[in-house]
Amino acid sequence: MLQHPDFIAELRFLTTEEGGRKSAVHAGYRPHIEFENYPEYLTSGQQTYLGQDIVEMGTTILAEIAIFGTAYFTNRLYEDMKFKFCEGRRTIGFGNIVEIINKDLRCDSHSDQYKINLNLYPADILKRLASDYKTNVTAATQSIQEFIISHTNFQSPRIVRALLFTGNKDSVQLNKMIALARTDWRDLLLEAEYETPDKRVRDFTKEFGKENINPEE
């Protein structure tokens, strides 16, 4: 059963020589999709081709796409957003969103991708995230992504650094700190930056390694 489409995209299927499939695909084909700058969350997208039912490799065509796991991409997608579609580790082709049908997925026109997408945050944050969470980095990334997209108050490197610091390399603790910040993000900063309520010892507007406040300054 075909789902309701979420967006229309221009798809370019790789040729067999480029590493694509050996055979044509039919309407209803459902490869994995990886959106640009969101490698931590693979979904699948059911393709319905406009004007034909069968597509040969090497073809460029417009298609309606219905993705699974839409909740994660609420307010994240935008026209001209790039993605690739795959079968396992093999890339079958590349896509480009030309029209968003599911308005819940549309990114606010005023949103800054460098604020709502953790993968575009400063390098010290991404390095700390990978170092602290290692094999659990995908789940940690998803948790923080969902957190920062939920409110503009959470969309800052300072808040994310405070989360990573107080998360203490533990996924359960990280989620506790996310819950604390959702209640009041200022409590998170108090926990991360202050030794006592009136003694600030860290400044997470600065990158990791430079956050400690020198009392003589």
Which residue, 105, 134, 161, sits at the end of a domain? 105
Per-residue pLDDT at 3: 73
Per-residue pLDDT at 69: 86
User: What pTM did the predictor assign?
Assistant: 0.90
Per-residue pLDDT at 111: 86
My answer on whether 51 and 136 are in the same domain is no
The answer to whether 43 and 72 are in contact (CB under 8 A) is yes
Domain range for 38 is: 7-105
Reading the chain (217 residues) residue by residue, the pLDDT tens digits are 557 999 999 999 999 999 999 999 999 999 999 999 999 999 999 999 999 999 999 999 999 999 998 999 999 999 999 999 999 999 999 999 999 999 999 998 788 999 999 999 999 999 999 999 999 999 999 999 999 999 999 999 999 999 999 999 999 999 999 999 999 999 999 999 999 999 999 999 999 999 999 876 5
Residue 149 lies in a domain: yes
- Residue 53 burial (CB count, 10 A): 11
Distance CA 162, CA 148 (A): 13
CATH number, position 44: 2.40.30.10
The H-assigned helical ranges of 9-66 are none
Distance CA 155, CA 147 (A): 9
Which residue, 199, 198, 197, 132, is CA-closest to 161?
A: 132
> What percent of the chain shows pLDDT beyond 70?
98
Distance CA 216, CA 24 (A): 69
My answer on whether 101 and 121 are in the same domain is no
Which residue, 34, 30, 33, 35, is CA-closest to 48?
A: 30
Distance CA 89, CA 24 (A): 19
Helix (H, G, I), strand (E, B) or coil at 207: coil
Which residue, 105, 121, 142, sits at the end of a domain? 105
My answer on whether 38 and 62 are in the same domain is yes
My answer on whether 151 and 83 are in the same domain is no
My answer on whether 17 and 86 are in the same domain is yes
Residue 1 lies in a domain: no
Per-residue pLDDT at 217: 55
Q: Amino acid identity of 20?
A: G
My answer on whether 78 and 128 are in the same domain is no
Residue 12 lies in a domain: yes
> What percent of the chain shows pLDDT beyond 90?
94
My answer on whether 36 and 118 are in the same domain is no
- Residue 85 burial (CB count, 10 A): 23
Which residues, other chains included, contact 196 with Cβ-Cβ below 8 Å and sequence gap of 6+?
none
Residue 210 lies in a domain: no
My answer on whether 89 and 160 are in the same domain is no
Q: Six-digit token pair at 8?
A: 């229309």
> How do 7-13 and 43-49 pair as beta strands?
unpaired
Tens of pLDDT, residues 5-62:
999 999 999 999 999 999 999 999 999 999 999 999 999 999 999 999 999 999 999 9
Domains: count for the chain:
2
